[in-house]
Amino acid sequence: MILIYELMAIGLYRRLMQSGVLPGRDLAVIGFRDAPRARFLQPSLNCFRMSLYDLGVALGQMLLARMPAYRDFYSDAGGNMIWPLELVAGESDVFQLTEA
């Protein structure tokens, strides 16, 4: 299960455990961003890390490139981008290698 808002994992973990389902063993759970509050979950949450500051700068430049008054200053601001995400490995996926 991939969560678009990482704090949803707190409620999801609670409901899964109430149902007898263990994250990381019975169901893989991946959060979108590395949130400080989600770091206390057990098993630890797999998630992604990204620079929100750099993303905001890039989005602002793309918007300015579309405005006629600023187009010449931001002519190299591309339209589509693939934004880099860094995987923060946790224990909440079922694909971990375990020794028998």
Residue 18: pLDDT band with limits 50, 70, 90:
very high
Q: State pLDDT tens for residues 61-96.
A: 888 888 889 888 887 766 778 888 898 888 888 765
CA-angle at 26, arms to 21 and 29, nearest 5° = 95
Q: What SS3 class is residue 31?
A: strand
Q: Is there a contact between 48 and 32 (Cβ–Cβ < 8 Å)?
A: yes
**Strand ranges (E), the chain:** 2-3, 30-33, 46-49, 86-88
- In this prediction, residues 18-27 reach a mean pLDDT of 92
Residue 38: pLDDT band with limits 50, 70, 90:
confident
Domains of the chain listed by start with CATH number: 1-50+85-100 (3.40.50.2300), 51-84 (no CATH)
Whole-model pTM: value is 0.68
What are φ and ψ of residue 47, in 5° steps? -155, -175
